[in-house]
Amino acid sequence: MTALKNDRFLRALLKQPVDVTPVWMMRQAGRYLPEYRASRAKAGDFMSLCMNPEFACEVTMQPLDRYPQLDAAILFSDILTIPDAMGQGLYFETGEGPRFKKVVSTLADIEALPIPDPHKDLGYVMDAVSTIRRELNGRVPLIGFSGSPWTLATYMVEGGSSKDFRKIKAMLYDNPQAMHLLLDKLAQSVTSYLNGQIMAGAQAVQIFDTWGGNLSAAAYQEFSLAYMRKIVSGLIREHEGRKVPVILFTKNGGLWLESIADAGADALGLDWTCDIGNARSRVGDKVSLQGNMDPTVLYAKPEAIRAEVGRILASYGKGSGHVFNLGHGITPEVDPEHAGAFLRAVHELSAQYHE
């Protein structure tokens, strides 16, 4: 494999010195980019983009070609590939988000679920990783990812997106054994899926716990964090002679940073409700931090975006251990020029904190 030309992202995750704070954006290959919309129109629909390694590679590269400041690429895929590979029948309805043909309701449904084999059942993702890695040719590191067991389970039990998660919460409180069996199967699946991505060339992995923050403090520990900890302990942590950092991101998990920092990962993702300086003092030297600008700041003018970047950098303060990012994915209506202003501001304003 080609040597990495830009390893700022990996270095910051491991708290090694960097020249400027590295930056990438969650959902950086996405609908705010006209070139992405063109590729999607060509592919037909969202899942055709994900399932075709050439298309997945094409859209992964687009933001890197547009923004030379980006310090990492992220695999273009969906978080619901695992439930789909378990036979749930993922599909997308316009304006409705993801849906499943089968819904998991009973212990029998859960017992019948297979653990997908990453190469046999999710080969298109492994192929996308190796294709992208080849195309990157050492430009920046490639991030692999998966949804967390709890987050995947919400879609499987609710049958799609949900406002209040009433079906899965009823299952959690009425039938915790069934809930644990489902989460355990998902944790096994995520572990081998992420290890497959690492072996195919992912140089860091992120677990997206998008809905863990909707649980009570006690339920979060038992039904979300415990399974992420289990995954982390089963991951390949070194490959190609280099550490493979793991990032855990629980949206709305700011109350629980101390316990998330104890789960064994190298870094935590922060949404924008946490002050990053305060978060740094809470987690100490245990982990690096990734985040955390409110993505809607990108609707403001470039001067305001720059000011907010400066505020966050100052809050984190001097030294390595910070990967700049948004606190959640970039939204489709953002002006690509504003995204560019954001990325430039991170590099320009952060050098002073790394002298």
Contact 11, 320 (CB under 8 A): yes
Contact 219, 180 (CB under 8 A): no
Nearer to a copy of itself, 244 or 312 (CB): 312
β-strand partners of 98: 92
Q: Find the part of the chain contacting a copy of itself (CB under 8 A) among 35-43, 202-210, 227-235, 249-257.
A: 249-257
Contact 290, 246 (CB under 8 A): no
Collapsing DSSP to helix, strand or coil, 142 comes out as: strand
Nearest-10 Cα torsion for 66, 67, 72, 74: -40
Report, in Å, the least distance between residue 257 CB and a copy of itself: 9
Nearer to a copy of itself, 134 or 301 (CB): 301
Is 237 catalytic? The answer is: no
State CA 113 to chain mean position distance.
25
- Binding test (CB under 8 A) with a copy of itself, winner from 44, 166, 233, 281: 166
Please report, as a single letter, which amino acid is at residue 130: S
Q: In the window 182-221, what residues touch a copy of itself (CB under 8 A)?
A: 213-220
Nearer to a copy of itself, 76 or 211 (CB): 211
Catalytic residue among 8, 11, 40, 139: 40
Contact 26, 325 (CB under 8 A): yes
Q: How far is it, in rounded angstroms, from Cα 140 to Cα 256?
A: 31
Q: Which two tokens stand for residue 66?
A: 């547009």
Q: Does 79 bind a copy of itself (CB under 8 A)?
A: no
Nearer to a copy of itself, 92 or 299 (CB): 299
Report, in Å, the least distance between residue 333 CB and a copy of itself: 7
- Binding test (CB under 8 A) with a copy of itself, winner from 296, 337, 351, 352: 296
Q: In the window 312-351, what residues touch a copy of itself (CB under 8 A)?
A: 327, 331, 333
Is 78 catalytic? The answer is: yes
Q: How far is it, in rounded angstroms, from Cα 86 to Cα 61?
A: 29
Q: Does 308 bind a copy of itself (CB under 8 A)?
A: yes
Give how many residues touch a copy of itself by CB under 8 A.
Answer: 40
Report, in Å, the least distance between residue 292 CB and a copy of itself: 8
Contact 320, 71 (CB under 8 A): no
- Binding test (CB under 8 A) with a copy of itself, winner from 273, 340, 348, 354: 273
Q: Which two tokens stand for residue 40?
A: 């999607």
Catalytic residue among 32, 67, 155, 227: 155
Give CA separation, 249 vs 46, 90, 286, 325, 326, in Å.
Answer: 24, 23, 15, 12, 12
Binding-site ranges for a copy of itself (CB under 8 A)? 164-167, 169-170, 172-174, 213-220, 252, 254-255, 272-275, 278, 294-297, 299-301, 304-305, 307-308, 311, 327, 331, 333
- Just list the catalytic residues: 27, 31, 40, 78, 155
